[in-house]
Amino acid sequence: MAIAGISSTRSSSYGPGTTNYSAMAMVTTLFFMWGFCTVLNDVLIPHLQGIFSLSYLQASLIQLAFFSSYFIFAQPAGKLVEWVGYQRTMVIGLLVMGMGALLFIPAATTVTYGFFLGAQIVLAAGVTMLQVAANPYVTILGPAETASSRLNLTQAFNTLGDTVAPYFGSILILGGAAVAAKNAALNHGAALTRAQQAASVKLPYYILAGILILLAVAIALYKFPRLEVTQDFRPTSQEHHKDSIWNHPHLYLGALAIFIYVGAEVSIGSFLAKYLADPKIAGLPLERAAKMVAFYWGGMMVGRFIGSYLMQKISAANMLALSGVGAAILVFSSLIGTGHFAEITILAVGLFNSIMFPTIFTLAVAELGPLTGRGSGLLVQGIVGGALIPLLMGYLADHFGIHRSLVLPLACYFFIIYYGWRGHRIFPSEPKGHFDIAPSI
């Protein structure tokens, strides 16, 4: 299988002792785009909640549709990487994302909630392909000892997309709906129809689709290097055949940590606008509250730049455990607080969330050798936590209030602390290996 414009061979080769910063910069654009697409849901959720009169539980189906795609498509995406290589998988992923973005147009035209959910699934399928290809690609693009630092740096640009998305969405989606409502009111007090409210979704997703397709062309034409990755020990083919990802507890505990972490991160982000609009918290107008969500994701961006530097001096595991402690303290503070204190503490959680995903990822794939691709697929499947945990938080919010529902992400951070403290350790009985891996780009 081939895509026009992509050569199957490369003239340059980079070993594990050097980092190709040009290729890393190109891949970093993908981190930005999938972060942007993911967090745009934080604005879309309250907008659709108003259009369709949804409960918190019903609104959380948006995240269920989006993040379930990770579980469904992660393993097929891993196979796709094996068949066509990292670069082709990135291109296919971007094109699928563009297709998903375009599906929001008929969804808005027909004003059908189920159609919006279907568009989310297609968009997230493309994001899944990018995640499966780009995350391990960055980890093997340079020295193993700086893999966590490198992935945190690229993830910082992922959260740049997270930070920009709420402003983009609040202006074009919520702001567009507000303008339409004002015009309708001036037109003899006419009520704004569902179709008119939904129409504000069309322009931002048209723009998004165009950018994704242009980026796919750019990635297709870029000449990525061929990588030579080597580890410490070369097993016999028989040992390789007998090895399995289930022989590595630090991997499957890492997948569980990814599940729990992403669930906590997305749960807070999904309901943050409504949380800040609650009269007991900040009582902000919804459009302004949506803009404030940018501070949550902006804290993650700043934290990843800081974390990328600190992890050159502090072990990744210790940074993860300390970040878990910081996040837990802030969530608990917001849970027991009110007013601006509750607002500030919950927004500050993003700073401590920052290094969690890339650090868990690199700790979990450590010393997997040729199982790295499969391990990456398992970890990306763990992102389904972003589908299921917000669903549970939505249920708690409906029955006990949005404020008290914070007890769920609080519990999640305790497992993150455990994984950084002990769960990441590679036990002596686990197979280790030195393998020559030359992934096809």
pLDDT in tens, 113-154: 999 999 999 999 999 999 888 877 887 777 766 666 777 778
**Residue 441 in domain:** no
Percent of the chain with pLDDT over 90: 36
Confidence class for position 220, pLDDT limits 50, 70, 90: very high
136: tokens are: 């391990």
Report the domain count for the chain: 1
More confident residue, 287 or 184: 287
Instruction: Say which residues have a Cβ less than 8 Å from residue 439's Cβ, sequence separation at least 6.
Output: 81, 85, 86, 137, 140, 227, 229, 373
Q: Residue 197 and residue 51: Cα distance in Å, rounded?
A: 7
* pLDDT for 427: 67
pLDDT (average), residues 43-65: 88
Looking up residue 375, the CATH number of its domain turns out to be 1.20.1250.20
Residue 368 gets the label, from left (phi > 0), alpha (psi -120 to 50) or beta, of alpha
* pLDDT for 441: 40
More confident residue, 309 or 349: 349
pTM: 0.73
Confidence class for position 8, pLDDT limits 50, 70, 90: very low
265: tokens are: 């991160």
Q: Is the predicted pLDDT of residue 100 greater than 90, yes or no?
A: yes
Q: Convert the pLDDT of each residue in 83-99 to its tens digit.
A: 888 889 999 999 999 99
**Residue 70 in domain:** yes
pLDDT (average), residues 321-328: 96
**Residue 46 in domain:** yes
Say if residues 227 and 14 touch (Cβ distance below 8 Å).
Answer: yes
Instruction: Say which residues have a Cβ less than 8 Å from residue 187's Cβ, sequence separation at least 6.
Output: none
**Residue 437 in domain:** no
> Pairing relation of β-strands 229-230 and 226-227?
unpaired
**Residue 221 in domain:** yes
**Surface-to-core class of residue 323, CB atoms within 10 Å of its CB (0-12 exposed, 13-18 middle, 19+ buried):** buried
Return the ∠ at Cα 388 (arms to 129 and 365), rounded to 5°. Answer: 45
* pLDDT for 438: 32
**Residue 1 in domain:** no
More confident residue, 311 or 32: 32
Say if residues 340 and 37 touch (Cβ distance below 8 Å).
Answer: no
Q: Is the predicted pLDDT of residue 182 greater than 60, yes or no?
A: no
Q: Residue 407 and residue 121: Cα distance in Å, rounded?
A: 28
Domain span holding position 302? 15-226+247-426
